[in-house]
Amino acid sequence: MKRLSRLSTIALGVLLSTAAVPALVVSGAAAQAATLSGGFDVGPGGFQGNFNPLAATAGFTWLSIYYEPLITYDQKLQKVVGALASSYEVSPDQMNYTFKLADAKWHDGKPFTGKDAKFTIGLAMDAKTGSVLAARLKGISSVETPDDHTVVIKLSAPSSSFLDTMTKVMMLPEHALASIPADQLAKSTWWSATPIGTGPFKFTKYVSDQYVELAANADYRGGKPALERIINRHFANPAAAIAALRSGEIQFTYVDSNDVPTFKDNKDFKVIEGNSFVVNYLGFNHDSPIWKDVRVRQAVMYAINRDAIIQSLYGGAAKPANCAYVAEQLIPQGIDTYAYDPEKAKKLLKDAGWDQINGGKPITLLTYYTTPLATNVLAAVQAMLAQVGINIVPRAVDAPTYNSIVLNATPDIAQFQMVYAGLQNGPDAGSINVGLNEKQIPPAGPNVARVRMPDLTKALDSALAEPDSAKRDAAYQDVCKVMNTNLPWATLWVANRYGIVSTKAKDFVWTPAPGGGPYQAAPQKWSIAE
Amino acid sequence: MLRYSLRRLIIGVGMLVALSMLIFMLLRLTPGDPIDAYIDPNLPMSPSDLADLRRNLGLDQPLPVQYLAWLQQALTGNLGYSIKRLDQPVLGLVLSRIGPTVLLMGTALAFAIVIGIACGVIGAVRRNSLADLSLSVVALAGISSPAFLSALIGLYIFSVRLHWMPSGGMLTPGEEFSVGDLLHHLILPASLLSVAQGALIMRYMRASLLEVLNQDYVRTARAKGVLEFWVIAKHALRNALLPIVTLIGSTIGLAIGGAIFIESVFNWPGMGLLLVDAVQTRDYPVIMGATLVIGTCVIVVNLLTDITYAVVDPRIKVG
């Protein structure tokens, strides 16, 4: 039997040696000097794997490091400022936009001119290129280039959202793309292999599903960048990005609000907090007879203890919303705050005859939010509404399923008598129009709650057509008032959004902008301590 | 033998076509299409933009037309273009992922075989000892812990806490390729992936060896005075390994399932990650392409196992 132990020893030896290999190959995971790595496409502002700005619905945080639009938002998303255009002018009737172009060069050294701008706008207006901006740019009647450094865009009708749309049109080089037919452009490998822009960093390498690497553009007109390289790591989910952040492999990523507390007191990281600009609401399906009476809708508002939910589930990281907007200048004085009052809710329901309208019958509430936070929020809302006699049953589905149900031209009301959803309300306040205007009921647009309120549609239309910006704020206040009174939605809150950055990164700018921006992030100034 | 193999091959091809039809139908039975996955409900897009996209991608055609168009192209080796990433042909995308998956699964399989057989031998030879008992407990835990759980625990301990291993990816971003770097990234996911399979092999190895150790010829060998080490190494082990070979072939499917989890947790750029990503974004051409390639692998592995078996044991041909 002695010999047996020899065999066991060999077997054990094999085992141990396999287990010991990890210790042998450990190497420094620390980032190299002058390289900043991040999960720039993690979370709702990212669009991982997309390299084509014409097809981008998000991901501008990253795209705007190597491409640039003519104009962009400032860091606080309040003003539209010049980017590739050194200045711009809008005619008083909001029909003519004149852009004076900066002296810029493409990454291959060729100059950027008005012809490139005209070419890019042409691509963005052409649906055949796969452009997601085509419909929004339909109002352009002509693009002229009186000289190499001037571009004049004329519209067929005034549009207060035009500048907002233009911030998303990233300029593309005519000399590199003109030879590709429009309908083949989206399939070109140029985007992920050899793209060139005008930004502070140049595209150098893409390793499929792993990372994108950019190198400093020494000839950048805004000065030579401080970093040598920026790397965008691709992650399958936010948890993987957080693991990489904590192990020191990356220096920045987006995080869900539930992950914030673990970073808050850690001196190695800085928490960046900002407005998500997404208002969360319970949308009443106005095609369903149960919500016809405004008293029922008011009862829903009174029955939900929003402050309690914000404190206990969001950890205070949200603001209650009493209409679709959060920006102070858009909210008028004296609107109803619908403070928690279950007794009042019960009385309103009784007056409206809720027993006759629906009673305790289950009401399907459809949502595309599948996070643990959303599940908890809906459980709380369900319990609070049950206390006043409204029996909702949440049903969470993935976003494609949600879209296919609610955007259907002839939907089954029983599938979604109510939705829990969100809609972006900034930086262009006009963006909320599509969710509330009667003219935007599917299939024409995404007014999924089928809101048919003439007062509201009128208020939205006049705000959109108002050329003067000061008067426009007043017009949006009117929209807010109508919403607050008529309650097309039970508006809940606007949550904060978070990024975490290593304290080693200096002058790093990240703003939780809708779709990732773009905004003035000044990547040429970013640097990192060794 | 040739007829047997041919017949199995034809059945395999038929299964692939049936698989492609089934996947195509199942995908279209789910509500929504890739265009619905394009829309972020928080940032609505204009319906005419979406209608244009749908038309450009051929999604406005009736289903049978779409399937036949796909099949016709697929027969010529063109699996279409990814919808999420239009600049990527599906075939290239899928082919570029086979290498990393084979590397990950191959390493995991090697770990599983070495560790499984070694532990199985220890367990059988030292039956009912403390070592046997503890290995059995470990094996039970290994078999019953799902891949995603062991992956997350492993990730937390070795990467986030101890900083020994990278948290994901196949190579360090921005660095030149080196085998050491690749191994550094490979070891953690591969060992975690090997856990369940290794535990299974160990259990089978232990049982199989115990059975063989009770056979007459082993007793004869011992009676002849052969050293115990050689009794086990030469006489018992060889015979005990036969069922293990079959087991390894049939657990490849299990490993593919585990690889899908491990690849998404560790961001390993293989077939699993590609498939998960494609399902999330309803990227039909990629789902079809990836499923077909995985299906082909499973069918080929089974075919090879069957043929090997037929070679080893001629009685199989009758059945």
Task: Classify residue A261 as exposed, middle or buried by CB count within 10 Å of its CB (0-12, 13-18, 19+).
Answer: exposed
Query: Which chain A residues are closer than 8 Å to B169 by Cβ?
Result: 210-211, 233
pLDDT at A416: 92
What's A34's DSSP letter? T
Closest CB to B227: pick one of A3, A14, A55.
A3
* Residue A38 · residue A231 · CB < 8 Å: yes
**Tally of helices (H runs) and strands (E runs) in chain A:** 17, 19
B88–A191 CB contact, under 8 Å: no
Task: Give the DSSP per-residue string, B268-283.
Answer: --SHHHHHHHHHHTT-
CA torsion sign for A50, A51, A56, A57 is positive
Cα-based angle B140, B146, B152 (whole degrees, multiple of 5): 115
Query: Which chain A residues are closer than 8 Å to B191 by Cβ?
Result: 18
CA distance A229 to A222: 17
Query: Which chain A residues are closer than 8 Å to B165 by Cβ?
Result: 22, 26
CA-closest candidate to residue B309, choices B238, B243, B223: B243
Cα-based angle A128, B51, A451 (whole degrees, multiple of 5): 140
Q: Is the peptide bond before B189 cis (omega within 30 degrees of 0)?
A: no
Query: Which chain B residues are closer than 8 Å to A420 by Cβ?
Result: none
* Residue A114 · residue A145 · CB < 8 Å: yes
**Cβ contacts from A onto B, under 8 A:** 242
pLDDT at B312: 64
Using DSSP bridges, classify how beta strands A392-396 and A363-367 pair: parallel, antiparallel or unpaired: parallel
pLDDT at A23: 40
Per-residue HEC secondary structure of A371-394 comes to: CHHHHHHHHHHHHHHHHHCCCEEE
CA distance A482 to A335: 10
Alpha-carbon gap: A41 to the closest alpha carbon of chain B (Å): 14
Query: Which chain B residues are closer than 8 Å to A443 by Cβ?
Result: 47
CA distance B116 to B123: 10
Closest CB to A231: pick one of B173, B184, B228.
B173
Tell me the residue type at A4.
L
CA-closest candidate to residue A139, choices A128, A149, A124: A124
CA-closest candidate to residue A83, choices A194, A200, A193: A200
CA distance B289 to B280: 15
Other C-beta atoms lying within 10 Å of the C-beta of residue A55: 23
Alpha-carbon gap: B13 to the closest alpha carbon of chain A (Å): 30
Per-residue HEC secondary structure of A154-200 comes to: EECCCCCCHHHHHCCCECCCHHHHCCCCHHHHHHCCHHHHCCCCCCC
A22–B40 CB contact, under 8 Å: no
Give pLDDT tens digits along chain A (530 positions): 444 445 455 444 444 444 444 443 333 434 445 999 999 999 888 988 889 999 898 999 999 999 999 999 999 898 999 999 999 999 988 899 999 999 999 999 999 999 999 999 999 999 889 888 888 898 999 999 999 999 999 999 888 889 999 999 999 999 999 999 998 998 899 999 999 999 999 999 998 888 999 999 999 999 999 999 999 999 887 888 998 999 889 999 999 888 898 898 999 999 999 988 899 999 999 999 999 999 999 999 999 999 999 999 988 899 999 999 988 889 999 999 999 999 999 999 999 999 999 999 999 999 999 888 899 999 999 999 999 999 999 999 988 889 889 988 888 898 899 999 999 888 888 889 999 999 999 888 889 999 999 999 999 999 988 888 888 999 999 999 999 999 999 999 999 999 999 999 999 999 999 889 899 999 999 999 87
A8–B38 CB contact, under 8 Å: no
Alpha-carbon gap: B2 to the closest alpha carbon of chain A (Å): 40
Model confidence pLDDT, tens digit, residues B194-250? 888 888 889 888 888 888 888 888 788 888 877 778 777 777 787 788 788 778 877
Low-confidence ranges of chain B (pLDDT < 50): 318-319
pLDDT at A426: 82
Distances (CA, A) of A397 to A369, A421, A489, B231: 7, 12, 20, 61
pLDDT at B316: 57
A57 touches chain B (CB under 8 A): yes
A243–B168 CB contact, under 8 Å: yes
Cα-based angle B105, B111, B114 (whole degrees, multiple of 5): 135
Residue ranges of A 493-522 with Cβ closer than 8 A to chain B: 514-515
CA-closest candidate to residue A451, choices A419, A499, A404: A419
Q: Tell whether ipTM is more than 0.90.
A: no
CA distance B309 to B303: 10
What's B31's DSSP letter? S
* DSSP helix/strand/coil, B33: coil
A182 touches chain B (CB under 8 A): no
B37–A400 CB contact, under 8 Å: yes
**Average pLDDT along chain B:** 82
pLDDT at A312: 92
Tell me how far apart the 2 most distant CA atoms of chain A are, in Å: 100
pLDDT at A107: 97
The DSSP H or E segment spanning B44 is none
Distances (CA, A) of A330 to A323, A453, A474, A479, B131: 10, 20, 7, 9, 72
CA distance B110 to B102: 12
Alpha-carbon gap: A62 to the closest alpha carbon of chain B (Å): 16
A1 touches chain B (CB under 8 A): yes
The DSSP H or E segment spanning A230 is strand A229-233
Per-residue HEC secondary structure of A306-342 comes to: HHHHHHHCCCCCEEECCCCCCCHHHCCCCCCCCCCCH
Query: Which chain B residues are closer than 8 Å to A45 by Cβ?
Result: none
Other C-beta atoms lying within 10 Å of the C-beta of residue A431: 19
A192–B40 CB contact, under 8 Å: no
B160–A26 CB contact, under 8 Å: no
pLDDT at A16: 44
B45–A132 CB contact, under 8 Å: yes
A441 touches chain B (CB under 8 A): no
Other C-beta atoms lying within 10 Å of the C-beta of residue B77: 7
pLDDT at A17: 45
Q: Which residues have C-beta within 8 Å of that of residue A38, sequence separation ≥ 6?
A: A230, A231, A232, A233, A250, A251, A252, A253
* DSSP helix/strand/coil, A403: helix
Beta bridge mates, A272: A499
Tell me the residue type at B71.
L
CA distance B296 to B290: 10
pLDDT at B317: 54
CA distance A94 to A99: 14
Structure tokens at A34: 């002058």
